[in-house]
Chains A and B, each alone.
Chain A
Amino acid sequence: MEKMAETIFDIRDIRVTFDTPDGAVEAVRGVDMHVKAGETVAVVGESGSGKSQIMMAAMGLLASNGRAEGSVTYRGQELVGLPREKLNRVRGAKITMIFQEPMTSLDPLYTIERQISEPLRVHGGLSASAARRRALELLKLVHIPEPERRLRSYPHELSGGQRQRVMIAMALANGPDLLIADEPTTALDVTIQAEILGLLAELQHKLGMAILFITHDLTIVEAFADRVYVMQHGKVVEEGATEQIFSRPTKDYTKMLLAAEPEGHKPPVPKSAPILLDADKVSVTFFARGGLFSPGFALKAVQDVTLSLRAGQTVGIVGESGSGKSTLGRALLQLLPSEGRVVYQGVPIQGFDRAAMRPYRRNLQMVFQDPYGSLSPRMTVGEIITEGLLVHEPGLSAGQRVEQAMEALKEVGLDPAMRNRFPHEFSGGQRQRIAIARAVVLKPTVIVLDEPTSALDRSVQKQIITLLRRIQRSHNLSFIFISHDLAVVKALADYTIVMKSGRVVEEGLTDEVFERPRSDYTRDLMEAAFNLRQVLSRQAEARA
């Protein structure tokens, strides 16, 4: 980047406070930041670090209970406390934003054309037909296939990646100086993420705007940004050029973040290990029910998947959203009607109803992705953990159950005294520990883990991975580990299955699949996940 570039966006001692029933909460506690013309700056931090709230404050988008103090200037104009009419001349024109949730950030009730046209007409004073022509140009610029048709589409008719392209088109509409991107790829699959990042880099190269990129993902930062601010607890703990931060971090927190990538390796189980769960040609078909006079249709979510899980083994199932990996996990545990054959320790459990499955349930447990939704908010942690014992070991006395719950809590690294608290008092990582304790207390042999680390920050993820590894060893457990996160699967699984559109595209020992992927699909996944930098620089070369 040119050293002499002018500073266009200058944040000085910004503070953001939220008034809550429990008193004022300071989300941002005095932060200085600046962005020069044409520069790419990343703000990195874990959830709750206040990184998004700075931008919300700068753009006048804080929730009604939030207030901002300090100064944010755009080319010398103070934005904090600016009357709305004046602020509206800057936002959407000179400074634009794209957000994390491509599903909800567009208005579901209006066409793409209308949504791209609105800022054009409001800021540029364009006529309806001129705005339409410009919207079409913009859709072509962001490489949306069939742009003419897409103008008339509604957001729900587009994929997540396409919606994010539409957001980018909106952001570019008025030729902005600065594009603020708030976790724009977090909700997308890795290959789509690489495409969107490549697009942003291409557009920046073409149009020359500065990008302020907010993310929790260091891989993106390394591949994408010129300069980095690292945030923790509402403050900047370290800043500097990307290369310097990644090669010579000075602060402990930055070092911790950099080291938080999942690590470790699981050796394959011996061939002699007994097979616990054997699935042969499992298929799941969803039927969309038609009405009285309208026909239904069928969707094959899982097609002819065969897998076997040996004692002590961890089978990782990876795939992008919609690949059928979660559906497969549920079908294996007979939580969904399916076809094929599933055998658990010699007993064909395929097609068992709830009553017939009950004796096997304690052996076949499940942990879900969402640590907020999967624990009943009205039960104490102790009740949640012991509930399964009531069903599977009705002979236990209340005292014995509490004892086992305390044991399980200790095992997952929580204070047994916490058993009388409710789930909302715990953090995401702690809740996931509780969910694991709930499974472990029944002394199962197989646990299906469905994206158990996906909602967690990297540093918390790492702790959960360590925990899973430990309880697997101490109880000789077998895991089916479902995740879209290749790094986590690489660290935990000894056998990996790659799924796409309901089918297995590749499988094998984890080392082989990750080191020498055979299918193009797997190779693309690996590249986008582990070599984002190369992917992006290849794209840049292709442009040049």
Chain B
Amino acid sequence: MFGYVLRRLLGAIPTLFLVITASFFLMRVAPGGPFDQERALEAKVLENLNRVFHLDRPVWEQYLYYLGNLARGDLGPSFIYRDFSVQQLLANGLPVSIQLGGLALVVALLAGSVLGTIAALRQNSWIDYSVTAVATFGITVPNFVVAPLLSLIFGVWLSMLPAGGWGGGSPQNMVLPVITLALPQVAIVARLIRGSMIEALRSDHVRTARAYGLPTRMIVGVHALRAACLPAVSYLGPAAAALLTGSVVVETIFGLPGIGRYFVQGALNRDYTLVMGTVIIIAVFVVVFNLIVDLLYAALDPRVRYD
């Protein structure tokens, strides 16, 4: 088990390396640079800046320099937030993003499982159809539409919740962003659970459980739900990725100090090191989550064992 985790983490190094390399060069291919502003800087100033940040060197040299720093755990200075290193910025933003993403994931799993199970148990009833309709709605409407709408309705018209801002991480400020983030995931999880639950309820071993007179709560809660969870568990990896990248938009709209905001601003301003830092964080998250998913899967399904 421990050996397996170690092997998986070692196996992730090449993946991360590829992600870093591809992002690094893609960033450099994009036109413009960190110090291009509407009013061009004086040539001498620009030259100095380029020298300080090693931008006067060939790209491959910058790449090796970056890798070297990275190996020492140094993500470099931010090009735009002059007084901060990328580590400092991420250390500020990451807790916010993790809280948002984590809460949204919990909401998505709980609400999705409950809705999906109810829909499956009442297959082809109006309850099932409304869950499916809401789920389709949740998947199709993008979060940059949902976020301003929620903000407008609950923040501006009803004045029930703050329309935006972090407010030092108070629960009220988190409600709308978490809902916006969770909504599409609730929909996907509900559909997954519904489908696999219907299949599980038709399976031979559930028929056996019925034939042996087990009460319905045991059949659904013990035998069908565990089997029905498996596809949803597999989806956790992509869901975690979606929640982190989804928070890019949501954090920007609600004005939250998470890493998503840095991602957008960094990309727009060609803040090379900041973007790289964010990419690495997200990639690490996806890798770790995929590992968690595989471990969880093995815990749920004895046919899958790692050693």
Contact = CB atoms under 8 A, between A and B. Distances in A.
B11 A109 contact: no
Contacts of B214: 88, 92, 118-119, 122
B19 interface: no
Given A106-B208, A154-B303, A156-B302, A91 B223 contact: no
Contacts of B206: 107
A61 B213 contact: no
A111 B302 CA distance: 9
Nearest to A114: B222
B303 A60 contact: no
B130 interface: no
A257 B222 CA distance: 43
Nearest to B223: A107
A322 interface: no
A165 to B, nearest CB: 15
Given A109-B300, A109-B301, A104 B211 contact: no
Nearest to A167: B208
Given A119-B212, A154-B302, A293 B7 contact: yes
Nearest to A89: B213
A96 B300 CA distance: 28
**B7, B10, B213, B223: which has the most chain A beta carbons within 10 Å?**
B213
Given A122-B218, A154-B302, A292-B7, A108 B211 contact: no
**A93, A107, A119: which has the most chain B beta carbons within 10 Å?**
A107
B204 A101 contact: yes
Nearest to A87: B213
B50 interface: no
B197 interface: no
B210 interface: yes
B73 interface: no
Contacts of A104: 203-205
Interface in A89-103: 89-93, 96-97, 99, 101
B301 A92 contact: no
B227 interface: yes
B213 A109 contact: no
Interface string B181-209: 00000000000000000000011111111
Contacts of A123: 213
B226 interface: yes
Contact of B213 (A91, A101, A293): A91
A105 B205 contact: yes
Given A99-B207, A101-B204, A88 B303 contact: no
Contact of A107 (B11, B205, B216): B205
A54 interface: no
A41 to B, nearest CB: 19
A435 interface: no
B168 interface: no
A3 interface: no
Given A154-B302, A292-B7, A292-B11, A90 B123 contact: no
A268 B187 CA distance: 67
A154 B204 CA distance: 16
Interface in A64-93: 64, 84, 87-93
B215 interface: yes
B209 A107 contact: yes
B218 A109 contact: no
Nearest to B14: A292
Contacts of A88: 213-215
Contacts of B216: 84
A59 interface: yes
Contacts of A105: 204-205, 207-208
Interface string B161-172: 000000000000
Contacts of B213: 87-93, 119, 122-123
Contacts of B212: 91-92, 96, 118-119, 122, 170
Interface in A175-209: none
A87 B212 CA distance: 10
Nearest to B229: A109
A152 to B, nearest CB: 10
A287 to B, nearest CB: 20
A170 B210 CA distance: 13
Contacts of B218: 118, 122
Interface string B223-242: 10011000000000000000
Contacts of A99: 204, 207-208, 211
A63 B198 CA distance: 12
Nearest to A109: B226
Nearest to B201: A64
Contacts of B223: 107, 109-110
A90 B207 CA distance: 15
A119 B208 CA distance: 11
Contacts of A111: 302
**A63, A89, A294: which has the most chain B beta carbons within 10 Å?**
A294
A292 B215 CA distance: 46
B302 A108 contact: yes
A423 B54 CA distance: 69
Contacts of A119: 212-214
Interface in B1-26: 7, 10-11
A108 B227 CA distance: 9
B51 to A, nearest CB: 43
A59 B205 contact: no
A20 to B, nearest CB: 14
Contacts of A108: 205, 227, 301-303
Interface string B271-307: 0000000000000000000000000000011110000
A107 B223 CA distance: 7
B233 to A, nearest CB: 12
Nearest to B211: A97
A92 B205 contact: no
A38 B123 CA distance: 41
Contacts of B222: 110
A60 to B, nearest CB: 7
Interface in B112-132: 123
A290 to B, nearest CB: 11
A59 B206 CA distance: 14
Contacts of B203: 104
B220 to A, nearest CB: 13
Interface string A276-315: 0000000000000001111000000000000000000000
Contact of A106 (B202, B205, B226): B205
B301 to A, nearest CB: 6
A380 to B, nearest CB: 31
A61 B208 CA distance: 9
A60 B210 contact: yes
A508 B96 CA distance: 77
A96 B218 CA distance: 18
A60 B210 CA distance: 8
3 nearest A-B pairs in the assembled complex, by CB-CB distance: A92-B213, A92-B212, A88-B213
6 contacts: A84-B216, A92-B211, A105-B205, A107-B206, A109-B226, A118-B212
Given A92-B213, A122-B214, A123-B213, 17 more contacts: A61-B207, A61-B210, A84-B216, A88-B214, A91-B211, A104-B203, A104-B204, A105-B205, A107-B227, A109-B300, A109-B301, A109-B302, A118-B218, A119-B212, A122-B218, A167-B208, A170-B208
